Amino acid sequence: MKRMNIVITGHVDHGKSTLTGRLLADTGSLPEGKLEAVKAMCAGNSRPFEYAFLLDALADEQKQGITIDSARVFFKSLMREYIIIDAPGHIEFLKNMLSGASRASAAVLIIDAKEGIAENSKRHGLLLSLLGIRQVAVVVNKMDLVNYSRDVFEGICRDYGLFLAELGVQPQHFIPVAAREGVNLISNSVSTPWYTGKSVLEALDGFDDEQSLEDKPFSMSLQDVYKFTENNDERRIFAGTPSSGRISAGDRVDFLPSGKTSVISTVEGFNTEQRFSAGAGEAAGFTLETQVYVKPGEVMVKEGDESIKVSDRFRANIFWLGSRPFETGKEYKLKIGCAKVSGTIEKIEKLIDAQSLEKETDRKGIRRHEAATLLLKTSAPIAFDTFDANEPLGRFVIIDDYNIAGGGIILDALEKSSVKR
């Protein structure tokens, strides 16, 4: 069955855990007897039952190692399994997403119908825009508290929609929900006869699967070149893990940015096993028919492939975690794929404080926990891709003083600078 990683965000108390717990219960995704057990425990303690308790109970089990698939909360529809990426705080979330530890394909943003849009609702919208998550459903929760008022719902949709549009986020769905009552979660409810859109589960099911990396054109950042001498013959093994596509013995390849070319002679796995091909995520070594001298960090593609960009300038969204600011005029080390290169800020296009959401333009540096859209310039041309097209080659980390101090995603390649070095 297919899987999709999703993130559910919302201001505290707007109903994130209730929505999650109720989705688990209503889709039959809970362990047998769990719902009844938690309900009985609440009754025993004369405590009203909360769907959020289901999550606590699951978390307890995970701590005790009872659940096999630990640290993963998921529910299933007929279409796929949804894995909920836990985002305890938005800083952890950004770190995880930018480092590639976890990546969400879709997001659910929850807003309390009675309280309306909170600062955090705005911050979460900002995060989605920074991370380039494009499949978004806005859920207006606790509709029971506003008598399922269409006016209230539409007011929130209008205001929040306008705010998100400014950030370039266009939700596919706005859904009126009462998570606790199960309204519009799995199917449409009679409580909102005026609403003809999708339920939360239908909206999620309607989202597209990420195109599998293996279905994309082949690319691999060269990790290292190992030299062996065999019967007085020098053999070079070009090692790396393909980020996308698949490559086979006999394929002609180009290396970028050097433009050198060769033909794959053999594909080697570990323990000298011979393989015929290697696909996205499968670490391998390659021998080539003609020797080429290329450096780690060059990207190997199939001959003539133009999907990978080569430039020394690109636009990116970055998030800064360093204790010292990320400053214009200073050199940093950037790591993109296996390439390490010096880089400087060419221009700060937009700077956003992730805490206060204040936008500023006239500043020379980006402080800890700030996010920005930047133009970056590297000391030499490198090969990369946009995050949208090829996640592993469209993501980078910024190193300051030997520490990872920030991370970012590449939005687009810019024209190579004309200055020769």
Q: Which stretch binds ligand GDP (CB under 6 A): 5-13, 212-220, 288-296, 411-419?
A: 5-13
Closest CB 199 distance from ligand GDP, rounded Å: 14
Residue 389 touches ligand GDP, criterion: CB under 6 A? no
Stretch 23-52: interaction string toward ligand GDP, x if CB under 6 A: ---------------------------x-x
Residue number, 47 or 340, with CB nearest to ligand GDP: 47
Q: How far is CA 31 from CA 73, 184, 289, 309, in A?
A: 11, 23, 55, 47
> Coil, helix or strand for 130?
helix
279 contacts 207 by C-beta, under 8 angstroms: no
Q: Does 205 bind ligand GDP (CB under 6 A)?
A: no
Binding mask 158-197 for ligand GDP (x = CB under 6 A): --------------------xxxx----------------
Q: Which is nearer to ligand GDP, 86 or 412 (CB)?
A: 86
> How is residue 257 written in tokens?
């940015």
Evaluated on CA atoms 75, 76, 77, 83, the torsion sign reads positive
Total interface residues for ligand GDP by CB under 6 A: 18
Q: Candidates 12, 68, 71, 78: give the one binding ligand GDP (CB under 6 A).
A: 12
Q: Of the two residues 122 and 313, which places its CB atom closer to ligand GDP in the complex?
A: 122
**Helix, strand, coil % over all residues of the chain, rounded to 5:** 20, 40, 40
CA pair distance 320, 405, nearest whole angstrom: 6
- DSSP per residue, 11-30: STTSSHHHHHHHHHHHTT-S
142 is an interface residue for ligand GDP by CB under 6 A: yes
Q: Is 15 in the site for ligand GDP (CB under 6 A)?
A: yes
Report the residue from 4, 6, 9, 16 that binds ligand GDP according to the rule CB under 6 A: 16
Which helix (H) or strand (E) covers residue 234, if one does?
Answer: strand 233-244
Choice between 17 and 386, CB closer to ligand GDP? 17
Q: Which is nearer to ligand GDP, 117 or 389 (CB)?
A: 117
The candidate with the shortest Cα–Cα distance to 128, out of 152, 146, 110, is: 110
| Region near ligand GDP per CB under 6 A, out of 137-145, 196-204, 230-238, 352-360 | 137-145
Do 183 and 200 form a contact (C-beta atoms < 8 A)?
no
Give the closest residue to 30 by CA, choosing from 75, 72, 94. 75
Residue 193 DSSP code: T
Nearer to ligand GDP, 12 or 190 (CB): 12
Instruction: Name the segment binding ligand GDP (CB under 6 A); options: 6-14, 306-314, 330-338, 345-353.
Output: 6-14
Q: Which string of x and - marks every residue 229-248 that binds ligand GDP (by CB under 6 A)?
A: --------------------
| C-alpha–C-alpha distance, residues 195 and 204, integer Å | 17
CB of 369 to ligand GDP, least distance (A): 22
Instruction: State which residue, 184 or 390, has the beta carbon closest to ligand GDP.
Output: 184
Cα separation, 213 vs 243, in Å, equals 7
Element of type H or E holding 301: strand 299-302
Residue type present at position 138: V
Looking at the Cβ atoms of 16 and 309, the one nearer to ligand GDP is 16
Determine which residue in the list 4, 9, 14, 317 makes contact with ligand GDP, applying CB under 6 A: 14
Should residue 124 be labelled a site residue for ligand GDP when binding is judged by CB under 6 A? no
Number of neighbouring beta carbons within 10 Å of residue 231: 5
End-to-end CA separation in angstroms for the chain: 52
Structural tokens at position 10: 């919302």
We find the least distance from the C-beta atom of residue 34 to ligand GDP, in angstroms, to be 17
> Is residue 56 involved in binding ligand GDP (CB under 6 A)?
no
Nearer to ligand GDP, 179 or 409 (CB): 179
Q: Residue 389's CB: how many other CB atoms inside 10 A?
A: 17
CA separation (Å) from 171 to 34, 77, 103, 106, 124? 34, 21, 18, 10, 13
**Interface ranges with ligand GDP (CB under 6 A):** 10, 12-18, 50, 52, 141-142, 144-145, 178-181
